Structure 1
């Protein structure tokens, strides 16, 4: 178990300004219900069609924090990947994303600061009609180069 190699994301010295990543995710009821169950969020605008039909939205919308979760998951999986952590974010939601919609996210590296071990991504998310539903920037601490904690025997150094 201790000898198992962990797959980490890209180190800061391998990431360049201008790099892009694009992902598309279709939002289904299953994901929304899982989110609402996990958070115990009972906001009717997220799930009740009869309530939503009486609002300017006309139909249920995807929770904005769920969209943020999709963004942070992409950072943890792909750019820079496992081992990274978010240190700041500035995100806005100019239009709603509706149930059964598709979210296409475009990430672009805008800042790489090796000295401070910091990078920044610009994020733009559009629905299937091309409307911007999320935009902003996220500051990230990419994975660090790991120092060995064990000798070749597989035991911890201090044991």
Structure 2
């Protein structure tokens, strides 16, 4: 028997995770990320890109789309905790303060629950801006990667 795609690194399986496992990552929101999101989603909300429009709103300047922030969380889960092969099955997101273009956010990820019966781990995610103000809270349920064995052909 051999493992499917043995050359690819796989993230931590549910057996390798423990409650309290954590990582912190810092990301800066750049123009290229915003433009890619707006182009891919066809989201034409002027609040996200037009300075003259957003100056007339309560925000005073363009804000980062919530989905882009959720994508940053999803990416970190796929890359780091649990890692490659993970699949998000539930995502709860609370935006506390608006996030503006070019802000640098520090995200904190922590495993807060492991349910081996359901094969799911729950992560708490928070993020602070450069002024140490909390801007978001999230709870994400993730199915960690699972190694699947294949039977070799006998040819």
Q: TM-score range by the shorter chain?
A: over 0.9
Aligned equivalent of 2:121 = 119
CA gap of 1:132–1:158, structure 2 versus 1, over 3 A, is farther
Aligned equivalent of 1:22 = 24
Following TM superposition, by how much is the alpha carbon of 1:158 offset from its aligned partner in structure 2, in angstroms? Answer: 8.3
Residue of structure 1 aligned with 2:112, choices 98, 101, 110: 110
Q: Give the TM-score taking structure 1 as reference length.
A: 0.90
CA gap of 1:136–1:5, structure 2 versus 1, over 3 A, is same
Q: Which contiguous aligned blocks of 4+ residues in structure 1 show a shift greater than 3 angstroms?
A: none
Aligned equivalent of 1:129 = 131
1:90 and 2:92 aligned: yes
Which runs of no fewer than 5 residues in structure 1 stay unpaired? 152-156
Number of paired residues?
152
Residue of structure 1 aligned with 2:54, choices 36, 52, 55: 52
Q: Which has the higher contact order (CA 8 A, sep 6+)?
A: 2
Q: Give the TM-score taking structure 2 as reference length.
A: 0.92
Q: Deviations over 1:15-66 (max 9, x none)?
A: 0001111001111111101110111111011000111111110110000000
- CA distance in structure 2 between the partners assigned to 1:3 and 1:103 by the alignment: 34
- CA distance in structure 1 between the partners assigned to 2:136 and 2:54 by the alignment: 20
1:62 and 2:64 aligned: yes
Which runs of no fewer than 5 residues in structure 2 stay unpaired? none
- CA distance in structure 1 between the partners assigned to 2:69 and 2:35 by the alignment: 14
Aligned equivalent of 2:82 = 80
Secondary structure of the residue that 2:101 maps to in structure 1? coil
Q: What RMSD, in angstroms, separates the aligned Cα atoms of the two structures? A: 1.6
- CA distance in structure 2 between the partners assigned to 1:25 and 1:63 by the alignment: 15
Following TM superposition, by how much is the alpha carbon of 1:114 offset from its aligned partner in structure 2, in angstroms? Answer: 1.8
